[in-house]
């Protein structure tokens, strides 16, 4: 995670991701995190099970998230599926959503 980013830059990206998540989270979502690994913003989605509908929803979330950005934003996403322990907050950048487990 880059320390070169301002709090304003981080907060902007978090707000945009939260807006993209509205109405998209199902009970299968365990956690959604945002990390910056220069030059990319990385969206991490943790799902309990492989569900096609949720994977399609993630594609929509990423599309909506990038639509709010300027053309220079570099963004990647990853999907982690399983019931293994979730990483610690400090290991994933900013946790935007985490269900109670």
| Residues of the chain by 3-state class (helix, strand, coil), percent to 5 | 35, 30, 40
Phi, psi angle pair for 36, to nearest 5°: -115, 120
Sign of torsion, CA 48 49 52 53?
negative
Let me know: does 43 contact 34? Beta carbons within 8 Å. yes
Please tell me the pTM assigned to this model: 0.92
Q: Tell me the β-bridge partners of 33.
A: 44, 95
Q: Which overall architecture, per CATH, does domain 7-98 show?
A: 2-Layer Sandwich (3.30)
Averaged pLDDT, 4-25: 94
pLDDT (tens digit per residue) in 53-72: 999 999 999 999 999 898 88
Dihedrals phi, psi of 25, to nearest 5 degrees: -80, 125
């Amino acid at each position: 995670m880059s320390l070169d980013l301002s709090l304003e830059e981080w907060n902007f990206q978090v707000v945009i991701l939260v807006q993209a998540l509205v109405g998209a989270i199902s009970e299968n979502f365990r956690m959604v995190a945002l990390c910056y690994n220069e030059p990319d913003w990385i969206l991490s989605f943790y799902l309990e099970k492989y569900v096609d509908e949720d994977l399609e929803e993630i594609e929509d979330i990423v599309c909506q998230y990038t639509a709010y950005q300027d053309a220079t934003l570099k963004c990647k996403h990853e999907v982690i599926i399983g019931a293994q322990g979730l990483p610690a907050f400090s290991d994933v950048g900013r946790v935007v959503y985490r269900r109670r487990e």
